[in-house]
Amino acid sequence: MTRKTIGFIGLGIMGKPMSKRLLEAGYPLVVYNRSTPPMDELAALGARKGTSPQDVAAQSDVVITMLPDSPDVEQVALGPNGIMEGIRPGSIYVDMSTISPKVAVRLA
């Protein structure tokens, strides 16, 4: 069985370790972060580096975000070159950030 490709956006204190675990479990992984060092570290372990949230979404069956707050999630999901501009039909978007209920409903 072919494993689904996972996109992971937000490689900070929580996102980078989660991404590493997905790689260790054998999932194909596409990553994006505003700063490049975490992407480079994960690429050395086998992840592909996305060029934008849109690019990550276009390559992924499941997109996960782990971002600091509501404005960041809205920008990454709904802004220019955002997830919604690249997500494929049938793909799943999972936000694991701490965001306001209003933003969560807006993204649903």
Cα separation, 82 vs 51, whole angstroms: 11
pTM higher than 0.75: yes
- CB–CB of 61/87 below 8 Å? no
Q: Tell me what the pLDDT averaged over the chain comes to.
A: 97
pLDDT, mean of residues 12-22: 98
List pLDDT tens digits, range 69-89: 999 999 999 999 999 999 999
Q: What is the CATH code for 6-107?
A: 3.40.50.720
Q: Residue 21: its pLDDT value, please?
A: 98
